[in-house]
Amino acid sequence: MTIRIDAFVVAVPGLEPLLLDEVQRLGVRPARAVRGGVECNITWPQLWALNLRSRVATRVVVRVARFHSDGFHSLQVGLRAVDWAAWLPAADGPHAGVAIAATCDKESKLYHSGAVEERVAEVLGRPLGEQTLQVRVQRDVVTVSLDASGAPLHHRGWRGPAGKAPMRESLAAALVLASGWNMKSPLVDPFCGSGTIAIEAALIARRMAPGRNRSFAFQHWPTFESAGWDRLLRGADGDVVEKCPPIVASDRDAGAVAASLHNAESAGVSANVEVLQRTVSDLELPPRAGWVVSNPPYGHRVGGQGGGDRDLRNLYDRFGAVLRERGVGWHVALLAAHDTPVAHAASAAAHVGHHQRWHRGCRADRRGRAARRGARRDHLTWRGTRHELRG
């Protein structure tokens, strides 16, 4: 009988629909989107595959135990009932250490997270280390989870130099996926920074597994099987295709261009991403209509002192004018913070009409504004997702 485990695939709040689609495409069922991620019941090989192949997820955790506790005694009793040797690396091995992170709500009798962490450490009897155990106490119910990923999954292993405000790889992949890019038409990022969007687009088009060049926490668990993992890697390598549509990344900053070139080389897609130094006024789009997908500078992200906001407004006005002039038939997808001028540029570009197809779970802007996405702290709210510029 195949062993199945309960898992939670974590995502930035707002990306749950995209993550659910991705998880289901990877063959994981049943799966259910909830706030902050996707709950699913999976096999061990599926756990490995989610870490290897997920482009949107932040990390994957497995549920080790769940029990009621109204005090430290019942907490320790519940923890001692767990067969830790079946979950954690050998206690006398090089990867025995465990970091403990507890969160408690005010409605629970166990409300002091530091004290909970101390009691958990006493039960485990292990030094501080690379494995991470998460303990959540909510309304006197304790949920114990083990982080299977280790470093966050947006750490692909290829990033080197970064710009002023580097975009997470997982968020860049989510933006590309949400844009509806067909992986056949050109994709252009005119504010490329360190090249994250363009590189993730190339990885998507070429079907390259995002976690191929990194390691994971589960590789030190007693349930890990090297032979099964090697089969997954061979399968991932066999899925890679050489064909890739034109992808262009440009930026006015020479440092950003140099970083993009370095990162594309490190990610193995330098032959698929054309990197150029140019201003948005000099933007040249390929003759075949495609997608403009970008994370423009905004407010606190890059905005300067004094006339920073005015400079950004001028930039977006010019960006909108360029798209309206040269981007007829192109789709536009932008990531932006709330209450920034980005929407004005997109609106100016798309004033004559917008594409009627919308990504599932997203709300269309009925006023015809081009793709505007809001980001407040760690939560994303999705507005209209795809707009086609028409002449």
Per-residue pLDDT tens digits for 2-58: 799 999 999 999 999 999 999 999 999 999 999 999 999 999 999 999 999 999 999
How confident is the model at residue 337, as a pLDDT? 65
| DSSP 8-state class, residue 385 | -
Amino acid at 90: A
- Residue 152 placed within a domain: no
| Listed residue (350, 340, 341) closest to 371, CA to CA | 350
- Residue 367 placed within a domain: yes
How confident is the model at residue 388, as a pLDDT? 52
- Residue 139 placed within a domain: yes
Average pLDDT over the chain, rounded to an integer: 86
Per-residue pLDDT tens digits for 142-178: 999 999 999 999 999 999 877 667 899 999 999 999 9
Q: Are 96 and 194 within one domain?
A: no
- Residue 155 placed within a domain: no
Q: Are 54 and 194 within one domain?
A: no
- Crossing angle (nearest 10°) for helices 16-25 and 169-178: 80
- Residue 335 placed within a domain: yes
For residues 250 and 365, the model is more confident at 250
**pTM (two decimals):** 0.86
Determine which helix (DSSP H) or strand (DSSP E) holds 136, and give its type and residue range.
strand 131-138
| Listed residue (351, 315, 314, 313) closest to 332, CA to CA | 351
How confident is the model at residue 335, as a pLDDT? 87
Q: What CA–CA distance (Å, rounded) separates 198 from 177?
A: 12
Q: Are 14 and 142 within one domain?
A: yes
How confident is the model at residue 378, as a pLDDT? 36
The CATH number linked to 331 is 3.40.50.150
Amino acid at 373: R
- Residue 160 placed within a domain: no
Whether omega before 30 lies within 30 degrees of 0, making that bond cis, reads yes
Q: Are 123 and 197 within one domain?
A: no
Number of domains in the chain: 2
Q: Are 221 and 287 within one domain?
A: yes
Q: Are 177 and 294 within one domain?
A: yes
* Residue 102 belongs to domain spanning: 4-147
Q: Are 126 and 224 within one domain?
A: no
Q: Are 126 and 249 within one domain?
A: no
Per-residue pLDDT tens digits for 96-111: 999 999 999 999 999 9
Q: What CA–CA distance (Å, rounded) separates 20 from 110?
A: 33
Boundary residue ending a domain (117, 147, 177) = 147
Q: Are 185 and 41 within one domain?
A: no
Q: Which residues of 353-362 are buried (b: 16+ CB within 10 A; e: fewer)?
A: ebbeebbebb
Q: Are 229 and 356 within one domain?
A: yes
The CATH number linked to 127 is 3.30.2130.30
- Residue 323 placed within a domain: yes
- Residue 164 placed within a domain: no
Q: Are 143 and 183 within one domain?
A: no
Amino acid at 336: A
Q: Are 12 and 116 within one domain?
A: yes
